[in-house]
Amino acid sequence: MSKGIYKLPEIKNEPVKSYAPGSPERQALKQKLVELNKGGLDIPMIIDGKEVRTGNLYDICPPHDHQRLLGHYHQGDKTHVQMAIDAALKAKPAWEAMHWESRAAIFLKAAELIAGPYRYDFNAVTMIGQSKNAFQSEIDAVCELIDFYRFNVRNMYDLYGMQPNSAPGIWNRTVWRPLEGFVFALTPFNFTSIAANLGGAPALMGNTVVWKPSKTAVYSAHLIMEVLKEAGLPDGVINLVYVGGREAAEVIFNHREFAGLHFTGSTGVFNGMWKTIAGNMEKYKSYPRIVGETGGKDYVFADATANAKQVATALTRGAFEYQGQKCSAASRAYIPTTLWEEVKNHMEEDLKSIKTGTPEDFTHFINAVIDEESFDKLAKEIADAQQSLDAEVIMGGNCDKSKGYFIEPTVILAKKPDYNTMKEELFGPILTVYVYDPDKLDETLDILDTTTDYALTGAIFSSNRANIEKMTSRLTHTAGNFYINDKPTGAVVDQQPFGGGRASGTNDKAGSVFNLLRWVSPQTIKETFVPATDYMYPNFLNE
């Protein structure tokens, strides 16, 4: 056990560097991009701390330059999933028994390594592998990741400090035990920080993990493992496998020791896994924890008193940063007729000035979407809108996959409020706008609420306090993260705890104490100092 009730070092959000022309960070990152673009990658799985190579090689190519081969990763199969489970279970007793301050120190050290010597590596691999521009990468792969690791430690500390009261003569305690068994972290392509956190948060709480990242984020996943190892994470605590999602799920969801799923990704995949787990309930030792943060159809709603320039800026940033591939991206907007011309003009100006291309050129606001499957789906949605009588493509619409998977920022005007792109998550740089009659504010709020199954993020714009109050109240269940006069993206750990309801997930708020609670099974201990020696109560005595 620990021999002290320690104070933590000060925990703060990592400041975002600007990468402005002439800044030292810009020069350092440019150099790193040259170095890490050289290729020759040979990326193994990491199981029980060892590099595992299968010779079954899968290409790694940047989405913005898909014919340029950076190297390969080694694809595994079900036997590697089983090896990863065995390694996790073997590592569990020692990791669980380790002093909490040692577990904390490992993650705090990892955060320092990323903030310092590995900052530009994290940015470069995310820019190259996931096609993010420097600023978007800095807020994700560096700052949000560091914030997750640091604030998880602070939240663990606070949670461990939550202890029951004790009556005289006894001492009650809560032991924040990790789960029995292993946790499965299944991670998406779009945020390096989320991928790092989904394994990191359960591990910090004393669990061991099998981690399957997205096949399009292997480059950054490998770097996360390297840094955790350098920070002192023992072998087998997190085991990284590159296998098909279904293959991994088949082995994991049939294992008696499966203790929890930490997932971020699409709603359909999550729903499928939930059903499988439910069907396998009798196989498990304990009820598995199921945590999933899933899709969104995030909105911006402006009333007639909103400032048109502010609304247009929120839409340009909120819809098109990282090519709209944030779960939080604005993808539907409700604008009153009285404001629309002005909003549209500002957006047209913005979009005319936006540059598209490779992330190595820092003037490019837009880079490529993640892969060909996504490109084809988005291109089809645009083509459908161009053909439809219910919609009109009013800005952008060009798509070109000859060199990279580039989709021009596109605005669709929906003539009916339930046009497909007002309902379905597209996960790309496509915004659909519905222009409403300002005299029908209440009806339009009802439409917003009922058009889609999702409820992740939403933003309202207004300068009228009564309307702000009305909209906030009416839209309570439409978003787990709700913004007033701000874009619906860019939640910061410890400031806007993140997650949505309805079909957008279990809303366990990544980076908060609520999330950590899912990775522990509290035990209550009552210790009596002088135990009773007589079974009789006073009322049994004679008068």
Ligand X SMILES: NC(=O)c1ccc[n+]([C@@H]2O[C@H](COP(=O)([O-])OP(=O)(O)OC[C@H]3O[C@@H](n4cnc5c(N)ncnc54)[C@H](O)[C@@H]3O)[C@@H](O)[C@H]2O)c1
Residues 375, 405 contacting (CB under 8 angstroms): yes
CB nearer to ligand A1AUG: give 197 or 410: 197
Question: Is 89 in contact with 257 (CB distance < 8 Å)?
Answer: yes
Phi and psi angles of residue 372, each rounded to the nearest 5 degrees, phi first = -65, -35
CA neighbor of 234 nearest in space, from 410, 90, 41, 450 = 90
190 part of the interface to ligand A1AUG, by CB under 6 A: yes
* Neighbour order of strands in the sheet with 238-240: 50-52, 45-47, 238-240, 208-212, 182-186, 258-264, 289-293
14 binding partner (options ligand X, ligand A1AUG, none; Cβ < 5 to 8 Å by kind): none
Contacts of 297 (CB under 8 A, 6+ apart): 331, 332, 422, 423, 424, 425, 451, 452, 453, 454, 456
Binding test (CB under 6 A) with ligand A1AUG, winner from 396, 458, 490, 500: 490
Cβ 488 to ligand A1AUG shortest distance, Å: 8
Footprint of ligand A1AUG on 334-363 (CB under 6 A): none
Segment contacting ligand A1AUG (CB under 6 A): 169-177, 403-411, 417-425, 490-498? 490-498
Residue where the block lists tokens 């800044």:
23
Of 122-130, 321-329, 434-442, 520-528: span binding ligand A1AUG (CB under 6 A): 321-329
Least Å distance, CB 34 to ligand X, is 28
Q: Give min distance, CB of 164 to ligand A1AUG, in A.
A: 34
For ligand X, which is the closer residue by CB, 444 or 457? Answer: 457
> What are the two backbone dihedrals, phi and then psi, of residue 399, each rounded to the nearest 5 degrees?
-135, 140
209 is a contact residue toward ligand A1AUG (CB under 6 A): no
Nearer to ligand A1AUG, 198 or 327 (CB): 327
Binding mask 132-171 for ligand A1AUG (x = CB under 6 A): ------------x---------------------------
CA dihedral 417, 420, 422, 426 (to 10 degrees): -170
Other C-beta atoms lying within 10 Å of the C-beta of residue 360 = 20
Query: Which residue is closest to ligand X by CB?
Result: 245
Told to check if 328 binds ligand A1AUG by CB under 6 A, we report yes
Residue with smaller CB distance to ligand A1AUG, 138 or 144: 144
* Size of the residue set binding ligand A1AUG (CB under 6 A): 10
User: From start to end of 277-365, where are the E strands?
Assistant: 289-293, 298-302, 330-336
- CB 399 → ligand X: shortest distance, Å? 19
List contacts with ligand X (CB under 6 A): 186-191, 194, 212-214, 245-246, 249, 264-266, 269, 272, 293-296, 327, 425, 427, 456, 498-500, 504-505
Q: Which of the listed partners (ligand X, ligand A1AUG, none) does 491 bind, with a CB threshold of 5 to 8 Å by partner kind?
A: ligand A1AUG
Does position 327 bind ligand A1AUG by CB under 6 A? yes
Query: Which span (25-33, 168-176, 217-225, 323-331) binds ligand A1AUG, by CB under 6 A?
Result: 323-331
Strand partners, 209: 183, 238
Q: Is 191 in the site for ligand A1AUG (CB under 6 A)?
A: yes
AA identity, residue 492 = V
Q: Does 297 bind ligand A1AUG (CB under 6 A)?
A: no
Selection from ligand X, ligand A1AUG, none that 489 binds (CB < 5 to 8 A by kind) is ligand A1AUG
Catalytic residue numbers, as ranges:
293, 327
As to burial, measured by CB atoms within 10 angstroms (0-12 exposed, 13-18 middle, 19+ buried), residue 7 is: exposed
Q: Please select the residue that binds ligand A1AUG; options are 130, 208, 478, 489, rule is CB under 6 A.
A: 489
Q: How many angstroms separate the CA atoms of 527 and 169, rounded?
A: 9
> Would you say the C-alpha torsion 469, 471, 473, 477 has a positive or negative sign?
negative
Closest by CA to 240, choosing from 294, 191, 187, is 187
Question: 333-352 b/e with 16+ CB inside 10 Å = b?
Answer: bbbbeebbebbbebbeebbe
Residue 230 CB, shortest distance to ligand X, in Å, is 24
Report phi then psi at 333, rounded to 5.
-135, 145
Distance CA 374, CA 259 (A): 32
**Site residues for ligand A1AUG per CB under 6 A:** 144, 190-191, 326-328, 489-491, 498
